[in-house]
Amino acid sequence: MSYQIITFYEFKLLENLPKVKATLKSAMDELSILGTIIIAEEGYNATVSGLSPNVEKFVAVLEKTFGTKLVYKTSYHAERPFLKAKVRIKKEIVALRQTVELKKGIGTYAKSADWNKIISDENTIVLDARNDYEVEVGTFRGATNPRIEKFSDLPKFIQENFDPREHRRIAMFCTGGIRCEKFAPFLKELGYEEIYQLEGGILKYLEETPAEESLWEGECFVFDDRIAVDVNLRQGGSEDARPLSINPPKKTPK
C-alpha cells in the first residue's frame, strides 16, 4: 500500500474562515486524509496525505471550497507521513510579518528548465530562502545560506548583507515556492531590479530535472515524518536537524 502526499498553496482572498475550516476538517475525517492545512484571509497552504482515491475526492472538495483549480505537487510513501488531521486559521499562510503587494512579484518566476543557466551566471546571487536546518540537508550549488531560524528573519539578513545599488540580480528558491512568492515583491519594494524565483520550488525542480543535469546537492527537507526526500522524491536518509523549540520530542502513547 502506498500513500499519496500532495503539497499546495495559493494566495487568494478567503472569507468566512471558520466555515471553511469546518468543511475541510469534516472532509479530512470522512476520507481519512491526514496532514495540515493553514488558511488565512490571504489564502491557503497545505501538505496532506491519504490513499490516492481518497486524495482525488478531497481535491474535489478543496476546489469547490476554495473556488479554484488546485495546483499541487505529488509524491508517494509506503507509510503515513502524518499522524493527525489539522486545519488551522492564521494571520498569514507563511509568516513574513511584512506587508507586501503580491502583484509586484509578477514576472519574476523562473522555470526549472531555465534555472541552471540563471544560477550559473557569476553575477547572480543565489539565495536559499529557507531556514538553516533545512539548508543543512541540501541546497543548490553555490547558494547563500542566510542562517536564519525562521522566514521572518530573512528581511533583516537582506538589509544587513546586500544593497540594491550593488547586488542587482537575485535568484531565490524554497521548498515549494510559497516563501519566494511572498519575498519577491518584498525585494522589489527594496529596489532590487532583477529578481528570479524558482517556480514550484525545489520539489518541482527535482521532479522536472534529470539527475545528470541537476545542480542540487544533498536531499530536500520536508515538513513531515519522511524528514527529507532524495532527487527522485523518495524518502531520504537525513536526520531531523530542527531545534527542539521547533520540533519537540513526540510523546509516547501510554
Closest CA to 174 of 166, 164, 184: 184
From 110, 129, 174, 187, active-site residue: 174
Q: Which amino acid is at 39?
A: I
* Beta-strand pair 138-140/85-89: unpaired
Task: Verify whether residue 174 is a known catalytic residue.
Answer: yes
The whole-angstrom separation of Cα 120 and Cα 12 is 34
Residue owning grid cell 530535472: 209
Number of C-alpha atoms within 13 angstroms, CB side, residue 245?
3
Task: Label each residue of 131-187 as H, E or C.
Answer: CHHHHCCEEECCCECCCCCCHHHHHHHHHHHCCCCCCCEEEEECCCCHHHHHHHHHH
Closest CA to 48 of 21, 8, 10, 15: 8
120 Cβ neighbours under 8 A, 6+ residues apart: 215
CB 133 within 8 A of CB 209: no
Closest CA to 58 of 90, 96, 19, 85: 85
Torsion sign (Cα): 147, 169, 221, 71: positive
The whole-angstrom separation of Cα 164 and Cα 162 is 7
Annotated catalytic sites, by residue? 174
